[in-house]
Amino acid sequence: MLRLPVFSYLRPGSPVEATQMLADHGGRAKLVAGGTDLLPKMKRRQLAPEVLVAIGHLDALRQLEVSPSGAATLGAGTTLSQALRHPALREQQPGYLEAVRVVSTPALRNAGTVGGNLCVDTRCNYYDMTEEWRSAIGFCRKAGGEVCRVAASSPRCWAVSSSDTAPMAIALGATALLAGPDGMREVPVASLYADDGAAYLALAATEVLTALRLPASEGWRSAYQKLRRRASMDFPVASAAVALHLDGPVVDGCRIVLGAVASHPLEVPSAADLLVGGELDDDAIDRAATEAARLAKPLDNTDLSFPWRKRMVKVIVERAVRQAAGRA
Ligand SMILES: Cc1cc2nc3c(=O)[nH]c(=O)nc-3n(C[C@H](O)[C@H](O)[C@H](O)COP(=O)(O)OP(=O)(O)OC[C@H]3O[C@@H](n4cnc5c(N)ncnc54)[C@H](O)[C@@H]3O)c2cc1C
Ligand code: SF4
């Protein structure tokens, strides 16, 4: 049995107090919300924070509001199951919930949170292993070593961004609210991420993601397609989030964001641009999906073969575009 390492558990009374606790403990502290990603990682000693700052109990982070226009604000501590059950959210933000619905399993969605899913760690076959396994071959860059087992000559880590909701939130044009020692700021969800499998979040170590804001759909339609070995529970090994705006038969707006094929959610504007301004016919969809697959850079560090995953990006982008247009 894998056991948790020893740590101190702090229970702040507000998000501001949580940021203060993070500041007080420097790099030795980490936030924990549902714990469904962090605690297994601690058991495998991928991470060993001395202090956990719990935020899952904070009412201020569990509010879920949907305005009459359809715009939604989800507190970062809202569980994925709470989001799925919310009637107004189901009506107004079906695209976001499509991605939420395929995160892990019902039991994990009961504990896992909106914020935790956006901040979930990157993944790699050489990293998501027990300490014994990793020490036997030597720790890699993401674990403080000096070599990457996937790309030996690379100066960086290529672990894979594996959040289901992040690509969808970016495709929908969502923003994130962050609390830090200097106050609040609101940023596009895309800017939460760095293109680095090890330091994958662009937040300051003292910042807490407090809410996700989804704009009103205003005629935008969306779809999410996820590739994984088992439909019952696995992380994505490639995914495609598409948001589309049609003026009659003509596409007048499109965003395509790929998941699990880079160290950050990968927006592919050059693929979306191949659809904008024209009718949504088979040739246009084929060209856009081909371009998206060209830009996807899956490596040999997740489940299933990486050349096949790259080819499948074309398939899932095609499916997502057709589904968003109501032609699945
Ligand atoms: C078997 C299994 C299958 C899974 N399958 C999937 C899957 O298919 N798709 C998927 O996306 N995920 C999957 N996950 C990962 C995880 O369950 C979800 O991503 C979940 O939503 C994480 O939320 P959490 O609240 O439990 O995060 P936690 O584990 O509490 O935290 C995750 C990370 O986010 C940070 N964090 C949490 N909240 C905040 C915040 N408010 N501000 C700043 N940082 C924060 C933590 O410090 C930590 O680094 C799976 C996990 C398991 C164990
Ligand atoms: S990509 Fe390389 S450095 Fe990053 S976790 Fe995998 S083996 Fe380690």
Domains recognised in the chain with CATH numbers = 59-119+160-214 (3.30.465.10), 221-324 (3.30.390.50)
Distance CA 200, CA 286 (A): 32
Which CA distances in Å does 40 have to 109, 128, 131, 137? Answer: 15, 10, 12, 21
Supply the pTM of this predicted model. Answer: 0.97
Residue to probe by mutation, ligand 2, list 123, 141, 161, 261, most atoms within 8 Å of CB: 141
User: Which residue, 116, 112, 141, 114, is CA-closest to 126?
Assistant: 141
Q: Which long-range contacts (C-beta less than 8 Å, at least 24 apart) are formed by 83-90?
A: 83/114, 84/109, 89/64
Instruction: Please list, in sequence order, all residues whose beta carbon lies within 8 angstroms of the beta carbon of residue 257, skipping any fewer than 6 positions away.
Output: 167, 168, 170, 171, 240, 241, 242, 265, 266, 267, 268
Looking at residue 316, what is its pLDDT?
Answer: 98
Which residues on neighbouring strands pair with residue 209, listed in sequence order?
178
At residue 327 the predicted structure's pLDDT band, cuts being 50, 70 and 90, is confident
Q: Which ligand is nearest to the CA of 298?
A: 2
- pLDDT range class, residue 179, cuts 50, 70, 90: very high
At 11-32, the pLDDT tens digits run: 999 999 999 999 999 889 999 9
Q: Are 227 and 239 in contact (CB under 8 A)?
A: yes
Q: How far is the CA of 36 from the centre of ligand 1 (A)?
A: 6
Mean pLDDT, residues 99-105? 97
Instruction: Kindly state the percentage of the chain with pLDDT values over 70.
Output: 100
Q: Is 140 a pocket residue for ligand 2 (Cβ < 6 Å)?
A: yes
Structure-token match 């109501």, residue found: 326
Q: Residues lining ligand 1, judged by CB closer than 6 Å?
A: 30-38, 40, 55, 76, 80, 103-104, 108, 111-113, 115-117, 119-121, 162-164, 208-209, 233-235
For ligand 1, atom 21, name the residue with the nearest CA: 117
- The pLDDT confidence band at residue 123, using thresholds 50, 70 and 90, is very high
Q: Whose CA is nearest to atom 2 of ligand 2?
A: 148
Q: Among all ligands shown, which has an atom nearest to the Cα of 224?
A: 1
The residue ranking higher by pLDDT, 321 or 182, is: 321
User: In whole angstroms, what separates CA 172 from the centre of its chain?
Assistant: 13
